[in-house]
Structure 1
Amino acid sequence: AVLGLRENNPLGTCILDCYLTGIEAYFDYQNSLGGVFGRQLVVGEVLDDELSQHQARALEIIANEDSFVVFGATLLPPGYGDLNDAGVPTFNWGIQAPENNGRFNLFPHLGVSCGDCLGRAVPYQMSLAGASKAVALGYGISPESKTCANTVGAAIDFYGADLGIETVKVYDDLPFGLGGGVAPQVTEWIDLEADFVASCLDLNGMKTIAEELVRQGYRDQITMQHPNTYDAGFVAEAGDLFDGDFVSPQFVPFEFTDDPGIQLYNQWVDQHGGQTAEQTMVGWLNATLFVDGVIAAGPEFDRAGLVEAINTGFTAHTAGGLGLPLDWTRQHVAPTREDPVTNGAAQECFSVVQMQGGAFQTITEQPWLCWPQDDRSWQQPVETSFD
């Protein structure tokens, strides 16, 4: 079963249908190789949680007993706990670390991440921009966004002495959607001489901010870091509004067109057809882990065998080189700021592209920039590929 968000999506982006495209495209690819142990892969049912019905839909799946596994992509997933407790392997868009944390039947595409660890990605992007004074932004209604804003602000200050950067103000209580605009905040940024926005907002919020920066004549004085604006159609429609800004995909960026994993993805997604977006790749990554897990479990696989095969045998799964290496013997539990190593990734890595002229451009030779996880001192990242 595929359980996700279509109706009542406050972001207005393609989630469920694009995610489904990625899953089915990967199934098409695997079925072209003969399926798995001679059996064809199919999506049995697709359920829209309509934003508020996730737990009810999850309980329906559990009660009906028609689905071997669940794939999930939504914004509010209270049903993940029920699926986990029922022993249903659930592969999901891993943006909700608290809902995945400590649940060993759930497999988020990022592993379980640390919400308050002092990462180096944002300070590094700030140094790339030649910036020195940052504001950090988060939505007050979202605990994750609020924590993120305070964490990136703290990370900038943690590495501030090394890079000559600082956080001049954290705004962790912005209203979702920014319905009242951000004119007072932008005016304050100008007074503070801020030249970098470290954001924990959605793509619509970033557009509202960029438009206000233009209105106040300050857009060319400030670079923005976008966590959620990796949407080609949205950026193309914006034209030059985001020129010079950075965005961090959660996988090998599509712009690395020579990457064999990207080429395979493009071939089968194009052949399958359907709506595509960032979530299409997430569906592909989730489907890859599922199939690899079934193969590892063997021809007599069942739910428990699938989970055991992944949780005991997959120590550096990259979904064909498209994702970060995930160690499922450790990464079901969130690392902490005090101990980022025990349950964290082997390296701290991120990908980054720059927006220019309504499109994305690569700025590195390799898709990933990585630092050692066990040494938190400042150093330049190493360009890396996990092919």
Structure 2
Amino acid sequence: MRIRIVAVATALVVLAAACSSGGTKKPTGESATTTPSGPVVHVTEPGVTDTEIHVGAVTSKTNPLGGNYADLDAGIKAYFAMVDAGGGVFGRQLKLTSERDDNTVSNQAEVQAMLSQDNVFAAFVATLLFTGADLLQRQGIPTFVWNINPEFADKDHLFGNIGAICFGCIGQGLPWLARKLGAKKVGVVGYGVSQESKLCAAGIRDSFKKFPTAQVAFFDDSLPFGVPDLSSQVASMKKGGVDFVTTCMDLNGVFTLAKEMAKQGLKAVQYLPNGYDSDFMAANGQFFEGDYVVTQFVAFEQTPRNKQISDFFRWIGRTGGKPDELSMSGWILADEFVTGLRKAGPAFSRQKVVDALNAGVYDPGGLIEPIDWRYQQTGRQSSAPRSSR
């Protein structure tokens, strides 16, 4: 199986959805998990005792796409286990004590319930829809988000695995890739029921207008979630001579598309903004031979292995989680939370954590492109579009 992996943190930075800035690196891994010992400073914040710090997570565990969004929790738990094994933070153990499923359509209700019922200091989110974003901002909650949502932008209490996304912005990444492949005709496919997917598709189309390395010969941004039949779209792409396909869809959507392309004999390279799942590719890789898949972190396969990746595999195994994109995103967000917590100091508060992160660059030792939160809360940067999952 020949799947080309493009890690945003390494070779193909121009395919990233958010602009990033460089910064100095900090120690990572187990060597960086301990906090200087001393008397515990009493903190009067929600979710904080003299021995523990409690956080909560809301994910779209139940969703129409078959996505593994709840794996975010496994990554958080693995990172917390590593930190706790090293003595915790300021004499306290870190605990994910609330794990809520928003069933895709109840995000705001579940966020409200977590805040009013679960007594948490900070929040983590991996959801298809993010209607609770404004509530988290208004309540001043340090919130750490697997960022695929336009609601993330322009909120200074929200921090992501990447900076704010400009969904409809023009970028050079995909035109560059098309030129590299020698592609002449492009097919663009997106969901009509997702505003970010429609913006993503429009951004791709407009990128090829500005950087005409290839012609957009097919465009459809009207698909429903869970679309079972793409025969008409593939037939049109084949008739139009499409040799490069890019989508703003989830993994199941691109799988449906890939199977139909194989069935109709459409020989085209597919760019997969979603698809970094080793188990899925092991079972279905024959449909993706020669395609490109993007990651928002250093690929697991890269050698020599980044120390954070080594620690991730060690601790995700010890805690019974599955190593995949969502659990790695949970690990990154947990590291970001702990980074802010340590910078806030022993007399930490929610606002001090927020202020500490917003004061500069977050850089987990080369695991991702460094994020400068002084500038990257806005979704108005001009960059390559990212898909809706």
- TM-score bracket for this pair, using the shorter chain length: 0.7 to 0.9
2:167, 2:285 → 1: CA distance?
32
Percent identity over the alignment? 36
Q: Is residue 6 from structure 1 mapped to residue 58 from structure 2 by the alignment?
A: no
Shift of 1:61: 2.3
Shift of 1:244: 0.5
Alpha-carbon deviations, 1:176-203, whole Å to 9, x = none? 2223x12222222122111000111111
Q: Is residue 87 from structure 1 mapped to residue 140 from structure 2 by the alignment?
A: yes
Alignment of 1:1-387 (within 5 A): 1-7=56-62, 9-16=63-70, 18-64=71-117, 66-96=119-149, 98-160=150-212, 164-179=213-228, 181-218=229-266, 221-257=267-303, 258-312=305-359, 314-315=360-361, 317-337=362-382
Alpha-carbon deviations, 1:188-220, whole Å to 9, x = none? 2122111000111111111111111122122xx
Q: Would the aligned equivalents of 1:154 and 1:167 in 2 still touch at CA under 8 Å?
A: no
Q: Would the aligned equivalents of 1:6 and 1:15 in 2 still touch at CA under 8 Å?
A: yes
1:349, 1:271 → 2: CA distance?
36
1:309, 1:230 → 2: CA distance?
32
2:312, 2:293 → 1: CA distance?
21
Alignment-derived partner of residue 39 in structure 2: none
Shift of 1:349: 12
2:84, 2:239 → 1: CA distance?
59
Q: Would the aligned equivalents of 1:14 and 1:279 in 2 still touch at CA under 8 Å?
A: yes
1:119, 1:319 → 2: CA distance?
26
TM-score, normalized by length of structure 2? 0.81
Aligned-partner residue type, residue 211 of structure 2: Y
1:211, 1:222 → 2: CA distance?
12
Please state whether the residue corresponding to 1:301 is helix, strand or coil.
coil
1:169, 1:64 → 2: CA distance?
49
Shift of 1:63: 1.9
Please state whether the residue corresponding to 2:371 is helix, strand or coil.
coil
Alpha-carbon deviations, 1:11-39, whole Å to 9, x = none? 213211x1111001111111222211121
1:262–1:275 distance in 2 versus 1, CA, 3 Å: closer
Q: Would the aligned equivalents of 1:139 and 1:173 in 2 still touch at CA under 8 Å?
A: yes
Q: Would the aligned equivalents of 1:196 and 1:224 in 2 still touch at CA under 8 Å?
A: yes
1:124, 1:281 → 2: CA distance?
28
Please state whether the residue corresponding to 1:239 is helix, strand or coil.
helix
2:365, 2:74 → 1: CA distance?
18
Alpha-carbon deviations, 1:70-101, whole Å to 9, x = none? 111111121121111011111111110x2111
2:172, 2:317 → 1: CA distance?
35
1:260, 1:287 → 2: CA distance?
16
Shift of 1:166: 2.0
| Structure number with higher relative contact order (C-alpha < 8 Å, ≥ 6 residues apart) | 2
Q: Which runs of 5+ in 2 are unaligned?
A: 1-55
Aligned-partner residue type, residue 296 of structure 1: K
1:174–1:51 distance in 2 versus 1, CA, 3 Å: closer
TM-score, normalized by length of structure 1? 0.81
2:209, 2:275 → 1: CA distance?
25
**More displaced, 254-263 or 289-298?**
254-263
RMSD of aligned Cα (Å): 1.8
Aligned-partner residue type, residue 27 of structure 1: F
Shift of 1:310: 0.8
Q: Would the aligned equivalents of 1:256 and 1:262 in 2 still touch at CA under 8 Å?
A: no
1:125, 1:226 → 2: CA distance?
12
1:31, 1:6 → 2: CA distance?
26
Shift of 1:229: 1.3
1:123, 1:61 → 2: CA distance?
43
Alignment-derived partner of residue 378 in structure 1: none
1:29–1:193 distance in 2 versus 1, CA, 3 Å: same
Shift of 1:261: 2.2
1:175, 1:24 → 2: CA distance?
34
Please state whether the residue corresponding to 2:94 is helix, strand or coil.
coil
Q: Would the aligned equivalents of 1:135 and 1:153 in 2 still touch at CA under 8 Å?
A: no
2:103, 2:291 → 1: CA distance?
33
Q: Would the aligned equivalents of 2:308 and 2:367 in 1 still touch at CA under 8 Å?
A: yes
1:320, 1:143 → 2: CA distance?
34
- Count residues in correspondence: 330
Please state whether the residue corresponding to 1:178 is helix, strand or coil.
coil
Shift of 1:114: 0.9
Please state whether the residue corresponding to 1:83 is helix, strand or coil.
helix
1:71–1:109 distance in 2 versus 1, CA, 3 Å: same
1:319, 1:259 → 2: CA distance?
10
